[in-house]
Structure 1
Amino acid sequence: MADNVLWIITDDQMRSTLRSMEQTWRRLATKGVRFRNGYSAMPLCGPARASMQTSLYPHNHGCDTNMTHQPFVAQGLDRDTAATRMKGAGYDTGYFGKYMNGIGQDPTYVAPGWDRWVTLLDGMIDDPRVSVDGEVRKVASQRAFDRFAAQRLRRFIRRHEDTPWFAVFSPTAPHGPYTPSAEHADDFDGVEWDPASFNEADMADKPTWLQDLPPQDRRKMQKIYEGKLEELQDVDDQVGRVLDVLRTTGQLRRTWIFFVSDNGYLLGEHRLLSKSQPYEEAAGVPFVVRGPGVAPATSDALVSQVDLMPTTLDIAGLDPDAGRELDGRSLLEPLRTGDWSDWRQRLLVENTHLDWAMLREGSIAYIEHRDAAGEWELYDLDTDPHQLASIGDADVTAWARKTGELVGSRGRALRRLERS
């Protein structure tokens, strides 16, 4: 029987928090490949989710604000996604969790390709609504919805033990407001929060608009961090229950599991709060893959959310570029062989709304602020992992050229540029 595929997509989770999730760490990260250099295509919820579903960078899918659902559908992008292709290949499909912002304005919508559709319609209000296959229901809270979605996922897995399936579990946690369960509400009380770049003292190397930012309140940042860690324990519990069902139904050994987040999060690093910015804390995401025949490892390979769709299609025996060339590349062969020598050498991260682009290559992070002529940053992450001192006297001509080429490309041409 063909292998199953499960994507687990958290919301606003920093790379550094993965280790706090005991079951996820023990049963996924140490049983598969954990990537130190996992990146969001664009560190903002909606555009990142559009990139995951289509394997297109934002400069190619054009959905660059957090209200993503309407432009995504208006362009017809929902008609060619990982779901539509997997459904076309004979897989049963199910989506369980947060989808794209703006879907609350279209409550009976069910995205093409999904047999089972359990998604949050209004995640940021006190009385959230849920769509179950286009029927609107209510749940008590975001966290209640996460439990509701996970329960439906487990039911889906049990009902499809004899047929191959593709599913997404996308909890709203650890997105604020921070309301962990009573079981975990005090797990991280008073946790220390003192990153090296917190309220960075010398901002002269940063772009002009950042240089006069006021410092963030440490106590406020610490409370957000505490809330995120505690909510992630609830996610961890749900991951554990899903893995239990996969094991008891005999499906774990033939299921590929991808654990990622839509974006990271800044909590006072460089005086910034939230996401959207080209720094490791926001652009970097946890990225773990466990699957049949995959030897446990930790990899420095540069990987992106746009790689999820082509890898999933490759697992199903499909040509990822059939009908439309994808921006991402399949992880399948190097995951199975452990040989990353033919993998991409450079990777693009971008924010087409704020008009910046970042190029990652080796230990270098080159950031180009395209809306501010002549402003750029260059960091060697081996010697400056916290991005405290941009190399101001560097010749960035080659970095700028490579970045510009990637931003202007798509599909096979973009992938060639990652290697040339």
Structure 2
Amino acid sequence: DNGFLLGEHRRVRKNAPYEESLRTSMRAVGPDFTPGEDERLIGNLDLAPTLAAIAGAPPRDDWDGRSFLGRADPRLERELIGIESFGGPAENEEREESQLLGADQLYPPYQGFRSKDGIVYVEYEGGEVELYDLQADPYQLENLAVGKALTDFPTYHARVERLRTCHAQGCWMSEDEPLGGG
């Protein structure tokens, strides 16, 4: 199953803010798709606009996502993409699997982003922060935000706030703007 952790980071479920869960492969075949690999950042919100484009339907102005049909579309050259999980109660089976691995913790709700340059920044509902540089730490083993608070990352926190409340093209602007320092 895509995005399902099988022991990575001592977890056995989806919705984790780690690359193994965030980055999943997607295959698309059809007359409007150019063969090859594409490393642009896309997300679930891009599926509806893409399917509408394939069907020849006009895009809606109120969609947060963008069609990824057509490689030359500059609108998909995002600097980052928002990530989020709303948490919720785990099924008993998930809890039992987590306990077997010694990881009885379930992810609290979080919001954050992953940049095209490999910065992953996450803010949890309780105020905890995680920050990873995937170029230096591809397995996300060293949380650069240990012992720090949201206030230590004003630029990143402001971006998460913008992503949290954005709508349609406002989301595009929040995703397209260069990231800058924490």
CA distance in structure 2 between the partners assigned to 1:416 and 1:388 by the alignment? 31
Match 1:329 to one of 60, 66, 82: 66
Q: Match for residue 303 of structure 1? A: 42
**Relative contact order, CA 8 A, sep 6+: which one is greater?**
1
Q: How far has the Cα of 1:342 moved from its partner?
A: 5.3
Per-residue CA deviation, residues 131-150 of structure 1 (Å, 9 max, x unaligned), is xxxxxxxxxxxxxxxxxxxx
Name structure 2 gaps, 5 residues minimum. 88-107, 178-182
CA distance in structure 1 between the partners assigned to 2:27 and 2:133 by the alignment? 24
Match 1:367 to one of 116, 122, 139: 122
Q: How far has the Cα of 1:329 moved from its partner?
A: 0.3
Match 1:349 to one of 83, 86, 89: 83
CA distance in structure 1 between the partners assigned to 2:173 and 2:136 by the alignment? 29
Q: Match for residue 383 of structure 1? A: 136
Per-residue CA deviation, residues 189-215 of structure 1 (Å, 9 max, x unaligned), is xxxxxxxxxxxxxxxxxxxxxxxxxxx
Higher helix proportion (structure 1 or 2):
1
Q: Match for residue 274 of structure 1? A: 13
Q: How far has the Cα of 1:266 moved from its partner?
A: 1.3
Between the aligned residues of both structures, percent identity stands at 33
The correspondence of residues 35-54 of structure 1 with structure 2, limited to 5 A, is none
**CA distance 1:275–1:293, change in 2 (3 Å):** closer
For the aligned residue pairs, the C-alpha RMSD in angstroms reads 2.2
Structure 2 residue 36 is matched with structure 1 residue 283: no
Q: Match for residue 405 of structure 1? A: 162
SS at match of 2:40: strand
SS at match of 1:404: helix
The correspondence of residues 21-420 of structure 1 with structure 2, limited to 5 A, is 264-321=3-60, 325-334=62-71, 337=72, 340=74, 343-353=77-87, 354-361=108-115, 362-369=117-124, 371-373=125-127, 375-392=128-145, 395-420=152-177
Q: Match for residue 224 of structure 1? A: none
- TM-score, normalising length from structure 1? 0.34
Q: Which amino acid aligns with 2:22?
A: A
Instruction: Decide whether the 8 Å contact of 2:66 with 2:76 is kept in 1.
Output: no
Instruction: Decide whether the 8 Å contact of 2:32 with 2:70 is kept in 1.
Output: no
Q: Match for residue 67 of structure 1? A: none
Q: Which amino acid aligns with 1:330?
A: S
Higher strand proportion (structure 1 or 2):
1
Q: How far has the Cα of 1:340 moved from its partner?
A: 5.0
SS at match of 2:41: strand
Per-residue CA deviation, residues 255-296 of structure 1 (Å, 9 max, x unaligned), is xxxxxxxxx111221211222221122233221222215332
CA distance in structure 2 between the partners assigned to 1:348 and 1:284 by the alignment? 13
Give the count of matched residue pairs: 152
CA distance in structure 2 between the partners assigned to 1:349 and 1:326 by the alignment? 17
Q: Match for residue 106 of structure 1? A: none
Per-residue CA deviation, residues 93-120 of structure 1 (Å, 9 max, x unaligned), is xxxxxxxxxxxxxxxxxxxxxxxxxxxx
Instruction: Decide whether the 8 Å contact of 1:358 with 1:368 is kept in 2.
Output: yes
Q: How far has the Cα of 1:355 moved from its partner?
A: 2.0
SS at match of 1:391: coil
> Greater CA radius of gyration, 1 or 2?
1
**CA distance 1:383–1:359, change in 2 (3 Å):** same
CA distance in structure 1 between the partners assigned to 2:131 and 2:114 by the alignment? 10
